[in-house]
Amino acid sequence: MSTCSTVSRDLDEPVAGTAATARTWLLLEQPGPWGAHALTSSHLDPVLGRALERAAKNTGVRVALIRRPGRHADCGTPSARQVYVAHTVPGSGWLHSATVRDPQRLLDLDFAALGAGDPRGFDTALDGRPHTGAPLALVCTNGKRDRCCALLGRPLAAELSASGVEGVWEVTHLGGHRFSPTLLVLPYGYAYGRVGAHAVKEILHGVEDGRIVVEGCRGSSAWERPGQAAELAVRAVADEYAADALRVVRTDGAAPRWEVTVAHADGRRWRVVVAQDASLPPRAESCGTSVLGSPARMDVVAVRELTPPAALAS
């Protein structure tokens, strides 16, 4: 059976620079079935779902629903729901958690502050606190958006959970169905595509040590797509895998060509030329459509280390 993910894999479509963009992720536990647009087509009150979408718009916050791996029969409204919020900008990232009985309380949050990296309002409004458990491994499993997420994502989430990996959740949408199974790891916010259980375990071990695994990485959700590709290219060139070592500090230009400046915490800088091109031949970008398209890809054209500051050169 040919699916969007098998076609993408067979064509060796690159995954770098394809992560969803969100400086901050807000995750609400919602058991039961999910529709294609889960915030308004699940057992969450659709009025609340629409209100959360409006509250998050243009704030840098992305809202998604999560549930534990396993069967998803409706067991009634949960008495308590887990809520996570993660800010993913390197050097200022954090992951906080809370438990709520009434999800309407999420509307009390200051979404602009969360997007800017301030967790204090979350902690005050929801009695939240810094997350001290294992990193979160969020596997996209929403088959109503694309069957690949169900066919490939659900078995991965179930295998990870059954093997004792902590912090595993199913999530409604990470984008890029054709890279299924897709994964988002928090607190650092790096997304992965075409991952198996062994690779996920390696990724999570790296996160526990403050390291990023580059193989299969789609990029950091903190950056726009050109920045995602540029940062990963610098990691490869500089042999740098510390999670908080690199930041995208400037992006010049516009599609289809950008010059991205990536800075190291030690002061070094690189100029990366990124070009947008079309992935050929045309193919269906999702199993839910028969329309052929040529998804945009981010190609790194050049990586050049800039002359170090005098303080570093001495």
pTM over 0.85: yes
What tens digit of pLDDT does each residue of 150-169 get?
788 898 999 999 999 999 99
Looking at residue 13, what DSSP letter applies? Answer: -
Between the alpha carbon of residue 211 and those of residues 22, 188, 206, 216, the distances in Å are 20, 10, 5, 14
Question: What six digits make up the tokens of 14?
Answer: 């690159």
Is there a contact between 36 and 144 (Cβ–Cβ < 8 Å)? yes
The per-residue pLDDT for 74 is: 61
Q: How far apart are CA 145 and CA 130, in angstroms?
A: 32
Q: How far apart are CA 305 and CA 293, in angstroms?
A: 36
Looking at residue 106, what DSSP letter applies? Answer: G
The per-residue pLDDT for 272 is: 98
**Per-state percent for the chain, helix, strand, coil, to nearest 5:** 25, 30, 45
The per-residue pLDDT for 281 is: 82
What average pLDDT does range 165-181 have in this prediction? 88
| pLDDT range class, residue 283, cuts 50, 70, 90 | confident
- What does the angle CA 88 – CA 177 – CA 27 come to, to the nearest 5 degrees? 40
